[in-house]
A = this chain, B = another copy of it.
Amino acid sequence: MTKRSVQFLPEGITVEVDSGTTVLTAAALANIEVKAPCGGDGTCGKCAILLKSGKVKTHVGSVVAAKLQDHGLSLACQTIVDEEDIVVEIPKVSRLNKHQVLLESNVMDKPGDPLREYLLNVWQLRSLLEPEQQDLLYGFPLKPLCRKVHLTLSPPNLQDSIDDANRLILALKKETNCHDITISLSVLKGLPEAIRAEKFKVTVLMLEVNGKGEIVNVEPGHSRRPVYGLAVDIGITTVAAYLLDLEKGRIVDTAGTHNSQARFGDDVISRIVHTVEERDGLQEVHQAIIDTVNYLIRTLLDKQKKVNEKDIWVVMTAGNTTMAHLFLGISPKFIRLEPYIPAANAFPYVTAKELGLRVCPDAKVFSFPAVASYVGGDIVSGTLMTKLGHEEDGMSLLIDIGTNGEMVLGLGDSLVTCSCSAGPAFEGSGISYGMRAMEGAIERVEIEKDTYEVSYSTISNARPVGICGSGLIDCLAKMRKTGIIDRAGKFQTHIVTPRMRVGDNGPEFVFAWQTDADVDSDIVVTEADVKNLLRAKGAVFAGIRTLLQTLGLQVEDIERIFVAGGFGNYLNIRDAIAIGLLPDLPADRYLFIGNSSVKGACMALLSQSAWREAEELAGKMTYIELSVGNMFMDEFISALFIPHTDLSLFPTVEC
């Protein structure tokens, strides 16, 4: 293979690649993350680049690629490094920016926040826990999966010549009351020296899972080094990591970034396809998420100089079923094919070394158990965090609106769950100017009734670059309210305003002018975008209705709705109800719980009983497959209108 150099502007980073490599792959090597929602198929048009010098081979297979070519642009995924060294510029609009991922602030620091009040009341935190642990444990006792135990052993003599391992285990059983304790070969190797270095005083690091103890490490003396744990939510788009001091039960710091698997596609399906169709595809997609988690670990350690990576002894991950497979390197192939069977729903824990995670090599890495191919560990984690299935009065519903809409209905002890293919519209994918809740995302809009003038606010008050999920819900609600679209989402093109126009992709409405924005064009919502959003909201609502009907229940029976997911810090419930995404219930029945996946993972790290409950929960949840029977499809079609074909379901919504 001939080697060619590719220089990326404006950074000036140069990488060497084999000729035949795509510019998209070269960019990944240069650590420049380029958008590629379609996974490099050449169909989404998001990875546009500008060739500055050198000759390349390009493949113009799609309409969008042809159109870009007219503007002197080509697609990174369809541009192949060939006979010459090249220089390319990657414009801002084509990039993912790692540092823009927003993290939630701690709800417990916000007196008066409804979630805080709910947690305080329902789980009686005040009485059960120290104040500093209230934000993490919600009623479970603080007894982390991995903890240090100080022991002082009696020295052996000729009359008491029991072996080192047994001497240690007997003392540990007495101290911890755990009666099934094992020791690994790697610990045995250093044991004789370790227990004698400080006159038979030792610190044992013990993992305890379901009453079974494992000696993970033995240090001489009574060590005061802290034990850290890492809770990780592996989302399709973003990955969040919380670093915890396990003994103190405190969050030390948090970090978030994009899932670098994005270069293999925006959704699970394109990533599964990559694992199936490409040689080494599974390894590539697996390594990408390992790299992402390692990046977060590095970020946390750079911020927290006092924390040593060797002191991170346990990692708890929660993600959807495909993410869990990919994280562990298990083929997700059959998740995509009917009847949608995962290799496993429960996963063995492994060592950090086996996965290549840059924490202590002997650290244990756990994965939250899943329920089915499309109801994963992230949902089980959210169910744990909200204590669904422990209701004493009435019914609760957990909805996680992401790429799929997953929901869990808790009624007393029983839990029913389903997943509806909502599509990633509310995460900004498949929408012309859609984006995640990041800096510069339009998150709220108002449209003036007569002039159709628009006012908006963006995250961090930056110049707008796109519209995030909560903004899109606002756009839809306000466009309907002002009559810009009808109940079926059709644009009323007779309305006269410069904002209403017909573009290359049909009718569109301008929410921000290019002059005000930080992108090279006006920010619009098209009729096609609206159709996508209606399908997404229709799927979620149809899912809720199907679950309820399965149990013979009505919307009004829901006492509380927990809304999790990627809407950022804001969601206008009235607007979400107005478009028919959420049931028409009083606002005080709603609670936004943000990233419940990572919060449940924190609980499982800090409390052995929480982890045990998580494992039990996964087995207890009844999965309803929506593709069986016609109920879901009938509901879906009825829900494609604003707010719905059956207006009696939305009595408080003006239509």
A344 touches B189 (CB 8 A): no
A164 touches B196 (CB 8 A): no
Query: CB-CB < 8 A to A628: which residues of B?
Result: 158-159
Determine the distance from Cα of A185 to Cα of B343 in the docked complex, in whole angstroms.
11
A623 within 8 Å of B by Cβ?
yes
Query: CB-CB < 8 A to A190: which residues of B?
Result: 331
B350 touches A163 (CB 8 A): no
A354 within 8 Å of B by Cβ?
yes
Query: CB-CB < 8 A to A373: which residues of B?
Result: 161
Please report the total number of A residues contacting B with Cβ < 8 Å: 47
Determine the distance from Cα of A185 to Cα of B353 in the docked complex, in whole angstroms.
13
A412 within 8 Å of B by Cβ?
no
List the number of copies, as a whole number. 2
B334 touches A192 (CB 8 A): yes
> 1/0 per residue A419-433: CB within 8 Å of B?
000000000000000
A191 within 8 Å of B by Cβ?
yes
A328 touches B163 (CB 8 A): no
Secondary structure at the A interface, as helix, strand, loop or mixed, is loop
Query: CB-CB < 8 A to A192: which residues of B?
Result: 330-331, 333-334, 341, 343
Determine the distance from Cα of A158 to Cα of B629 in the docked complex, in whole angstroms.
11
B339 touches A166 (CB 8 A): no
Chain B nearest CB: distance from A355 CB in Å?
9
A465 within 8 Å of B by Cβ?
no
Task: Give the contacting residue for A348; candidates B166, B183, B330, B333; CB below 8 A.
Answer: B183
A163 with B339: in contact, given A192-B333, A330-B188, A331-B192 (CB under 8 Å)? no
Q: Whose C-beta in chain B lies nearest to the C-beta of A166?
A: B345
Task: Give the contacting residue for A164; candidates B161, B183, B341; CB below 8 A.
Answer: B341
Q: Whose C-beta in chain B lies nearest to the C-beta of A349?
A: B185
A338 within 8 Å of B by Cβ?
yes
A346 within 8 Å of B by Cβ?
yes
A188 touches B348 (CB 8 A): yes
A21 within 8 Å of B by Cβ?
no
A163 with B344: in contact, given A156-B339, A189-B330 (CB under 8 Å)? yes
- A140-157 residues with Cβ-Cβ distance < 8 A to B are 156-157
A553 within 8 Å of B by Cβ?
no
Determine the distance from Cα of A373 to Cα of B161 in the docked complex, in whole angstroms.
9
Query: CB-CB < 8 A to A193: which residues of B?
Result: 331, 333
> 1/0 per residue A333-363: CB within 8 Å of B?
1100011111111111010001000000000
A5 within 8 Å of B by Cβ?
no
Determine the distance from Cα of A162 to Cα of B623 in the docked complex, in whole angstroms.
10
Determine the distance from Cα of A348 to Cα of B181 in the docked complex, in whole angstroms.
12
A515 within 8 Å of B by Cβ?
no
A182 with B329: in contact, given A188-B343, A192-B334 (CB under 8 Å)? no
A28 within 8 Å of B by Cβ?
no
Q: Which 9 A-B pairs have the closest CB atoms?
A: A165-B344, A163-B345, A158-B339, A163-B342, A192-B343, A156-B341, A164-B343, A157-B339, A192-B334
**12 cross-chain CB contacts under 8 A:** A158-B339, A161-B372, A161-B623, A164-B341, A165-B345, A185-B328, A185-B347, A188-B344, A189-B328, A189-B329, A191-B343, A193-B333
